[in-house]
Amino acid sequence: MTKKNNVISIPELVKNVTLLRLTGEVESLKRQQKEICEMAARSILLALDCKDHYTYGHSTRVAYYSVTLGKELGLSEEELYDLELSALFHDIGKIGVPDSVLLKPTRLTEEEFLLMKSHPTKSYEILKDFEPFQDIALYAKSHHERYDGRGYPDGLKGEDIPLYSRIILIADTFDAMTSTRPYRKGLPYEVAFNELEEFSGSQFDPELVVHFIKAMQKEEAKDEKTFKLTIIDGDFEKQAA
Ligand SMILES: [Fe+2]
């Protein structure tokens, strides 16, 4: 009697095999969707590289700094992946800013500044209708929101600003300060850390600033010239080119 009960029936066996096959197919479809998203991401980023090589390099460094902070915060692999993608895309809206404004080496007029300030909304517009990038679109849109609510485009405040956007703002500002440009030399890390601390609680999430500085000091101690990303292959230079 007991022995008979342990034997799996033919219909049950067929059901289990079918379930296993379906699970395998779902996993394979998920992998395929991820690959297609990555191909789409790389194509869009290539368009940014064609438009402005500096902004492309800046976006890769912002992704690296964001993920470094994300790791310090203990984010999961999946969360780090979305954070990297959001950071890579944060300035994608600059594709829609005229070269005369985007590449202008001198001070922008008020009108030009307004055009420049439209780039987070443009990032959102570019990404929002591709379903797998809908959340990423929102994180990109909010990367110039300030912790005190005086940022743009929506004047979001504190933790109403998505976490990834608060992370990207710190990474973005840090790269802008430490990158050497034709018209000025990049600041040393320590000076940039002081700047972040000065605007901690007004521009930046104060808790994230503490974690960022800690994470970047550990990175600095490794003394590596390059970094890697998950979504784009290759070694990236830490210093702007
Ligand atoms: Fe930006």
Strands 226-227 and 236-237, how do they pair? Answer: antiparallel
Percent of the chain with pLDDT over 70: 98
What pLDDT, on the 0 to 100 scale, is given for residue 2? 46
Q: Provide the 10 A C-beta neighbour count for residue 83.
A: 25
Residue at 238: amino acid letter: K
In the 3-class helix/strand/coil scheme, how is 62-105 assigned residue by residue? HHHHHHHHHHHCCCCHHHHHHHHHHHHHCCHHHHHCCHHHHCCC
Q: In sequence order, what are the residues at sequence separation of 6 or more whose Cβ sits closer than 8 angstroms to the Cβ of residue 89?
A: 41, 44, 45, 59, 123, 127, 133, 136, 140
Burial class of residue 131 in the structure, from the number of CB atoms within 10 Å of its CB (0-12 exposed, 13-18 middle, 19+ buried)? exposed
- CA–centroid distance, residue 6 to ligand 1 (Å): 63
pLDDT of 4 higher than 60: no
What pLDDT, on the 0 to 100 scale, is given for residue 184? 84
CATH number of 153's domain:
1.10.3210.10
Fill in the DSSP letter of residue 128: T
Using alpha carbons only, give the angle 100, 102, 104 rounded to the nearest 5 degrees: 60
pLDDT of 231 higher than 60: yes
- CA–centroid distance, residue 99 to ligand 1 (Å): 15
- CA–centroid distance, residue 143 to ligand 1 (Å): 7
Percent of the chain with pLDDT over 90: 84
Q: List pLDDT tens digits, range 54-63.
A: 999 999 999 9
**CA contacts within 13 A on the Cβ side of 189:** 15
Q: List pLDDT tens digits, range 52-97.
A: 999 999 999 999 999 999 999 999 999 999 999 999 999 999 999 9
- CA–centroid distance, residue 118 to ligand 1 (Å): 9
In terms of residue numbers, what domain contains 125? 2-237
pLDDT of 1 higher than 50: no
Q: pLDDT-based confidence at 132, cuts 50/70/90?
A: very high
- CA–centroid distance, residue 210 to ligand 1 (Å): 22
Number of domains in the chain: 1
pLDDT of 241 higher than 90: no
pLDDT of 5 higher than 80: no
Q: List pLDDT tens digits, range 151-169.
A: 999 999 999 999 999 999 9
Model's pTM, two decimal places? Answer: 0.90
What pLDDT, on the 0 to 100 scale, is given for residue 24? 87
- CA–centroid distance, residue 179 to ligand 1 (Å): 15
- CA–centroid distance, residue 109 to ligand 1 (Å): 18
